[in-house]
């Protein structure tokens, strides 16, 4: 059965990476949510896609230069819709606490491809352990060094290699890292690497799938998971209950 992850929450209906988007994902009967994590100036894991707050809040500046107190004063909803004004940037802690009261899976993407955020791996793993959610969490990153550090800290936490178009050799690399899955764009399924992944028993999850055509003719039976901005709408279009 393919797992439907709400990408940045149900981000078509609500502002991405906010509690509103996560609650909407639950209402849409997603199996899980995907979130992006960066590190504040005072070392807290915060849930926001970009390295700056400019696009998705009413503030400006780099996440790494702002404290949690400063980040929490920003409005993370009104850029999307005035009705969503008052949403804030969630802390990873808040999301984990909320997830604990649901049965949702959680994909935490460590956004270290542009900012190194020293120590982010330990911060995230400590939080996941504190909330005893390791069996429902997968950590992913485009940054292989980040994934290596995650694996050094925990031999058991589930990790996924994220690829954009750097596909060649990804299966070898994933096996070397002790990764549990590959998160790729749908075109990956038409490459030799997807056959290698299958032979290696590595599940493949695809992003971002919003329309049936985005699957590029691939049957869901070959796909362990999809990341979508609209879980209910995609399920309906695909005829998946
Ligand atoms: O995890 C898949 C996807 O979220 C990666 O791209 O830019 O949406 O974080 P992006
Ligand atoms: Ca992401």
Tell me the ligand closest to 35's alpha carbon.
2
Ligand 1 pocket residues where CB is under 6 Å: 7, 34, 36, 49, 109, 140, 162, 183, 207, 227
- Return the pLDDT at 211: 98
pLDDT band at 204 (very low <50, low <70, confident <90, very high): very high
| 78: pLDDT strictly greater than 90 | yes
pLDDT band at 11 (very low <50, low <70, confident <90, very high): very high
Q: Are 169 and 191 in contact (CB under 8 A)?
A: no
- Return the pLDDT at 48: 99
Q: What percent of the chain has pLDDT over 90?
A: 98
- Return the pLDDT at 163: 97
Burial code (b: 16+ CB inside 10 Å, e: under 16) for 148-186 equals: bbbbeebeebbbbbbbeeebeebbebbeebebbbbbbbb
| 23: pLDDT strictly greater than 90 | yes
pTM of the model: 0.98
List, in order, residues 6 or more apart from 179 with CB less than 8 Å away. 147, 151, 159, 160, 161, 202
Average pLDDT, the chain: 97
Nearest alpha carbon, ligand 1 atom 6: 207
10 phi/psi in degrees, rounded to 5 = -80, 80
| 132: pLDDT strictly greater than 90 | yes
Q: Does domain 3-238 have CATH number 3.20.20.190?
A: yes
Could you report the predicted ipTM of this complex, rounded to two decimals? 0.98
The ligand 1 atom nearest the CA atom of 111: 9
The ligand 1 atom nearest the CA atom of 107: 1
Q: Are 59 and 72 in contact (CB under 8 A)?
A: no
- Return the pLDDT at 220: 95
HSE-CB at 240 with a 13 A cutoff on CA atoms is: 21
């Amino acid at each position: 059965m393919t797992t439907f992850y709400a990408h940045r929450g149900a981000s078509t209906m609500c502002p991405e990476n906010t509690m509103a988007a996560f609650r909407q994902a639950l209402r849409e009967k997603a199996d899980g949510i995907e979130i992006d994590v960066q590190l504040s100036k005072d070392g807290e894991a915060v849930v926001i896609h970009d390295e700056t707050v400019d696009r998705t809040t009413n503030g400006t500046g780099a996440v790494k230069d702002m404290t949690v107190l400063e980040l929490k004063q920003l409005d993370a909803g009104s850029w999307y819709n005035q009705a969503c004004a008052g949403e804030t940037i969630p802390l990873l802690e808040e999301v984990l606490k909320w997830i604990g009261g649901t049965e949702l899976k959680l994909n935490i993407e460590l956004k270290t491809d542009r900012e190194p955020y020293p120590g982010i791996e330990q911060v995230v793993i400590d939080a996941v352990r504190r909330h005893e959610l390791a069996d429902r969490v997968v950590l992913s990153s485009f940054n292989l060094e980040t994934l290596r550090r995650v694996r050094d800290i925990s031999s058991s936490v589930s990790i996924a290699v994220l690829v954009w178009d750097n596909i060649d050799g990804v299966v070898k690399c994933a096996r070397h890292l002790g990764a549990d899955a590959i998160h790729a764009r749908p075109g990956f399924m038409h490459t030799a690497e997807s056959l290698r992944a299958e032979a290696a028993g590595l599940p493949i999850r695809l992003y971002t799938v919003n329309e049936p055509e985005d699957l590029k003719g691939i049957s869901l039976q070959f796909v362990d998971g999809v990341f979508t901005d609209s879980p209910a709408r995609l399920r309906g279009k695909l005829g998946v209950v």
